[in-house]
Amino acid sequence: MLSSFSLEVFSPKTQAATARLQTMATALAPFGPKFTSVTVGTGNGDPSLTDETLSLLNRHAIGQRAAHIAAGPYNMADLERRADAHLARGVTQAVAIRGDDGGQATVPVVELVGMLSDKGFDVCVAAYPETHPRAASEQACLNALKAKQDAGATTAITQFFFHADTFFRFRDRAVQAGITLDLIPGILPVVNWEATQRMAAQCGTQMDPDLAEAFARAQREGRADLMATAQGTELCYKLIEGGVDHLHFYTMNRAHPVADILLALGLTPSTALREVA
């Protein structure tokens, strides 16, 4: 049974994108997400955008707020200032990542996790069920996750994947490696097939040829949304049947793909009395 779910959004950079995020927050808040995390860019990322997005989420009461904090090219003093600023705004949940740095982070992500944990954050980290593209090996990837756990992380959200067995195999390997973190499957509803293919290629995410052809055919026939809902719902059902009780949705700042899957899973949005009076 699905006990809870969470969402991931990115900071909008235009008025139109802000309006779309507000629409998404209004639509998904009634489903009661446990938390919503805000991604952050590295190098060219504007911290003020993250702060504005966290404030927007707070106004829409869309679960607890969680801020991504990327090691990237920053030094520890920079990262501590960002962490303290989030704490001052009441954000106590953080997603610690290396970020898009080409593998050249000044501060190792393990040290970032330790700093955040010492400051009292509930620290979530990233996990890779199909091995990080830059990892030396599958075991090296697991060792890195174990090190983040030992540094104070309590939860790990996985990169997206398309087959439930991918997560189950990863979960088994993680247990064998001594990893006791809560492992949360990351779900990417397919909003745009071409964009999803590009993201999968960058992340090393595999898809069976039959499923890939089904998505391509649905795109050609104008039923991409139905295919995305069916595939996403089936994946979530299999994960829940396998003992998963929390799912994390990469929303791409769009409400309907996630809402359709939540409804198909049997979750219904609550409606405040003032909204129907």
**Closest by alpha carbon to 183, among 258, 244, 99?**
244
Q: Fill in the DSSP letter of residue 9.
A: E
Beta pairing partners, 60: none
**Helix (H, G, I), strand (E, B), or coil: what is residue 54?**
helix
Listed in order, strand segments (DSSP E) in 4-74 are 4-9, 35-38, 64-70
- Residue 191 sits at φ, ψ, to 5 deg, of -90, -40
Q: Is 8 a catalytic residue?
A: yes
Half-sphere exposure of 84 (CA within 13 A, CB side): 6
CA angle (9 as vertex; 7, 13 as ends), nearest 5: 165
> Could you tell me if 36 and 2 are in contact, meaning their C-beta atoms sit under 8 angstroms apart?
no
Helix axes 209-220, 193-203, angle to 10 degrees: 150
> Could you tell me if 21 and 56 are in contact, meaning their C-beta atoms sit under 8 angstroms apart?
yes
Chain centroid to CA 97: 11
Length of the chain: 277
Dist CA 183 CA 156 (whole Å): 5
Helix or strand (DSSP H, E) at 125: strand 122-127
Catalytic-labelled residue, pool 8, 111, 221, 275:
8
Q: Is 241 left (phi over 0), alpha (psi -120 to 50) or beta?
A: alpha
- The residues annotated with a catalytic role in the active site are 8
